[in-house]
């Protein structure tokens, strides 16, 4: 009986740890996705600014 209780407790602990790890992975993925979206937005803004700068140079000549 003691072995069964210990086995159940170990299984419960493993499941809890697995759940915690999955939550950590999900949080990391969400943060990475947010950073990637921020980088894409910044790159697009930089590209638009560069195009505007090129147009201004052309107009100044």
Instruction: Dump pLDDT digits (tens) for 6-42.
Output: 999 999 999 999 999 999 999 999 999 999 999 999 9
Cα distance between residue 37 and residue 41, in whole Å? 6
pLDDT score at 60: 84
Written as six digits, the tokens of 24 are 């950590």
Residue 54, pLDDT above cutoff 80: yes
pTM over 0.95: no
Which of 27, 29, 9, 5 is closest to 17 using CA atoms? Answer: 9
Cα–Cα distances in angstroms (integers) from residue 58 to residues 48, 50, 53, in the given order: 15, 12, 9
Cα–Cα distances in angstroms (integers) from residue 51 to residues 37, 46, 57, in the given order: 21, 9, 10
- What confidence tier does 51 reach under pLDDT thresholds 50, 70, 90? very high
């Amino acid at each position: 009986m003691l072995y069964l209780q210990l086995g159940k407790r170990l299984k419960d602990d493993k499941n809890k740890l697995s759940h915690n790890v999955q939550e950590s992975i999900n949080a990391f993925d969400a943060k990475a996705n947010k950073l990637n979206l921020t980088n894409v937005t910044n790159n697009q803004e930089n590209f638009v600014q560069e195009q505007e700068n090129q147009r201004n140079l052309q107009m100044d000549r």
